[in-house]
């Protein structure tokens, strides 16, 4: 019997396949496996990029931010029908709703191996400075109920950090036959070449969706504090508003901030490597992450990091070695560490080099993909993707 498998990856945005799954898809195709990429949010450009990776894109309907149970049931039934037609050997779902409905559909369709991966627990599991709203608590309770229904259908579950496993599985008594901690999806490091950071002037960079839980409001306040002492301090924010997320920054607020000229805002960009290379220090004051890709990218290029001491983020920084961990929701502490780099510019390069070493050791996509192949029960050659 051939060891070549049919593998269905179930996600949401088309961009997630060529943005976060590209190296895995290329490696699967290189090894002779047939890959289906099921996407619910896409453009024709997304479809073309997925095809260029060697996968077959398949579209389905799913509102990842919606709360309509009838729409979600329809998504489940559609996924079940698709999987029955495809007859994959492995279904690998990622993100909350695909893990829930994709796993249920895979088990109902008789798929032999069902794998789920949560790269973070999302907004409903993220603590807020003012406490969670009643709506968020309700959504979280529904989400936990759905996980309790879906987890018995999952053969193997992957988390990026141990905190997520603890806060979901252990806290709510969820079980699957196998649980794996990946530690980060990793990067194709050749695409993020190391460069020496400029420290004249010090340039601070944030990359991420403009969400409350990414620490955007604390970042803005910290910028104002820094500017009082160092008016020429330079800040750049890259990223778009995620309108389907309950914690999204609204457009009117963003427009006001842009008019204030507190920071440079190019919006969403695709050439993040260039922006990181032009920066000195990467800043991510997030409330919670899986293991943030943006920080991994900045580390690979050799940038010092300021981030919060929360699940996921703390996996990227050894405090005082390649950057600093600061308390969550604390713009004063964030500003203090920004000022430290302005006052000690020699630390930009020293800590940036330590970041690069850590990224090479811990965030190499080849190593991460080797783990994923092992989890999927697939053999692989030593041939590397290009």
User: Is the domain of 167 the same as that of 220?
Assistant: no
| % of the chain at pLDDT higher than 90 | 83
66 band by pLDDT with thresholds 50, 70 and 90:
confident
Q: Is residue 212 domain-resident?
A: yes
Q: When comparing pLDDT for 16 and 384, which is higher? A: 16
Q: Is residue 227 domain-resident?
A: yes
User: Is the domain of 222 the same as that of 135?
Assistant: no
Number of domains in the chain: 2
User: Is the domain of 167 the same as that of 205?
Assistant: no
Of 84, 350, 62, nearest in space to 197 by CA: 350
Per-residue pLDDT at 358 exceeds 80: yes
CATH number of the domain at 321, please. 3.40.50.2000
Of 206, 160, 127, nearest in space to 314 by CA: 160
User: Is the domain of 207 the same as that of 181?
Assistant: no
pLDDT value for 258? 86
**Residue 28's Cα: distance from chain center in Å?**
21
Domain range for residue 73? 6-186+364-376
User: Is the domain of 171 the same as that of 259?
Assistant: no
CA angle at 49 for the pair 44 and 52, rounded to the nearest 5°: 130
Q: What is the pLDDT of residues 120-164, one digit of tens each?
A: 998 899 999 999 999 889 999 999 999 999 999 999 999 999 999
Q: What is the pLDDT of residues 254-297, one digit of tens each?
A: 888 888 888 999 999 989 999 999 999 999 999 999 999 999 99
User: Is the domain of 194 the same as that of 81?
Assistant: no
User: Is the domain of 132 the same as that of 181?
Assistant: yes
Q: Is residue 97 domain-resident?
A: yes
244 band by pLDDT with thresholds 50, 70 and 90:
low
pTM over 0.85: yes
Q: Is residue 201 domain-resident?
A: yes
Q: Is residue 385 domain-resident?
A: no
Q: State how far the Cα of 151 lies from the Cα of 169, in Å rounded to an integer.
A: 10
Q: Is residue 386 domain-resident?
A: no
User: Is the domain of 282 the same as that of 176?
Assistant: no
Mean pLDDT, the chain, whole residue set: 94
User: Is the domain of 124 the same as that of 198?
Assistant: no
Of 293, 363, 372, nearest in space to 28 by CA: 372
User: Is the domain of 317 the same as that of 368?
Assistant: no
pLDDT value for 212? 86
Q: What is the pLDDT of residues 201-242, one digit of tens each?
A: 999 999 998 988 999 999 999 999 999 999 999 999 999 887
Strand runs labelled E in 40-163: 56-59, 90-94, 113-118, 156-159
User: Is the domain of 319 the same as that of 209?
Assistant: yes
User: Is the domain of 121 the same as that of 222?
Assistant: no
Per-residue pLDDT at 383 exceeds 80: no
Q: Is residue 100 domain-resident?
A: yes
Per-residue pLDDT at 248 exceeds 80: no
382 band by pLDDT with thresholds 50, 70 and 90:
confident
Per-residue pLDDT at 249 exceeds 80: no
pLDDT value for 1? 38
Q: Is residue 92 domain-resident?
A: yes
């Amino acid at each position: 019997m051939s060891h070549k498998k049919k593998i269905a990856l179930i996600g949401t945005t088309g961009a997630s396949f060529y943005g976060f799954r590209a190296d895995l898809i290329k490696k699967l195709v290189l090894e002779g496996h047939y890959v289906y990429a099921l996407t619910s949010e896409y453009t024709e450009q997304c479809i073309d990029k997925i095809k260029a990776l060697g996968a077959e894109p398949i579209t389905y309907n799913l509102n990842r931010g919606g709360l309509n149970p009838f729409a979600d049931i329809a998504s489940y039934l559609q996924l079940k029908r698709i999987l029955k037609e495809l007859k994959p050997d492995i279904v690998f779902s990622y993100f909350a709703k695909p893990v829930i409905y994709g796993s249920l559909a895979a088990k109902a369709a008789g798929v032999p191996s069902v794998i789920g991966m949560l790269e973070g627990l999302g907004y409903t599991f993220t603590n807020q400075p003012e406490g969670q709203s009643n709506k968020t608590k309700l959504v979280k309770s529904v989400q936990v109920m759905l996980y309790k229904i879906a987890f018995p259908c999952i053969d193997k579950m992957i988390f990026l950090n141990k905190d997520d496993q603890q806060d979901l599985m252990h806290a709510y008594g969820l079980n699957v036959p196998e649980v794996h901690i990946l530690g980060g999806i990793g990067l194709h490091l050749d695409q993020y070449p190391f460069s020496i950071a400029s420290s004249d002037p010090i340039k601070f960079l944030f990359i991420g969706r403009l969400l409350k839980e990414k620490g955007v409001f604390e970042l803005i306040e910290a910028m104002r504090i820094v500017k009082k002492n160092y008016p020429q301090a330079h800040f750049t924010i890259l990223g778009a508003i995620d309108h389907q997320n309950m914690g999204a920054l609204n457009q009117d607020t963003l427009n006001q901030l842009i008019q204030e000229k507190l920071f440079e805002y190019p919006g969403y960009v695709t050439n993040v490597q260039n922006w990181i290379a032009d920066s000195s220090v990467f800043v991510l004051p997030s409330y919670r992450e899986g293991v943030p890709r943006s920080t991994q990218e900045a580390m690979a290029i050799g940038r010092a990091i300021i981030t919060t001491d929360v699940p996921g983020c703390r996996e990227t920084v050894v405090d005082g070695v390649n950057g600093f961990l600061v308390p969550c929701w604390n713009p004063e502490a964030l500003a203090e560490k920004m000022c430290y780099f302005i006052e000690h510019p020699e630390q930009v390069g020293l800590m940036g080099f330590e970041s690069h070493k850590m990224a090479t050791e811990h965030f190499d996509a080849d190593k991460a993909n080797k783990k994923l192949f092992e989890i999927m029960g697939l053999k692989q050659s030593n041939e590397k993707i290009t």
